[in-house]
Copies of this chain bind each other. A is one copy, B any other.
């Protein structure tokens, strides 16, 4: 079967930068390419957009195929279309990034026989295509959004403690935060509430558990 046009058409893909907090580090998910080009290189999960498929739907589908998770935060990042970024044909890629709560551990190890692994940002392998650039943009955007949005909440499981939330901010920002100021600020947002439950975790006072008032909703603050 052939699909013919009176002028040349590019192919269009989506690629997804999938962030999560794992083992107290900010990590992202890469897949090992099975086929040429860049066979055996690591790359962002992604794939071709179906001819009747919405761009975001495509990204969500790829996300679920690679990680087995659905219903997570997804945002469009940038569209890369340099004419020679793919040696096969002209490919324009719409990049998305996604934040996955730490408790969604059921990442399929190898959905369609591809190796899948989490990498920290400071130990990234050489990546296929222009994926290193995309990752860099996504990271910048994530860090910027911590400041002026509630995006970090998307890393949290359904119930979490304020200390856990603070740790997430500290991991992404790369430095310690003052506990009292952090709590004051985050509670003043009025976007989280106590569940009433406590978490007993070790030889110390149990922590109050919180939940998001508006799960899935990322708001601009300030």
Contacts and interface: CB of A to CB of B under 8 A. Distances in A.
A208 to B, nearest CB: 34
Interface stretch (A21-29, A74-82, A118-126, A199-207): A74-82
Interface range, A side: 20 to 34
Interface stretch (A44-52, A177-185, A189-197): A44-52
A94 interface: yes
A48 to B, nearest CB: 7
A174 interface: no
A54 B76 contact: no
Interface of A: 1-12, 48-49, 51-55, 76, 78-79, 81-83, 90, 92, 94
A90 B2 contact: no
B2 A52 contact: no
A125 to B, nearest CB: 27
Given A54-B83, A92-B55, A9 B6 contact: no
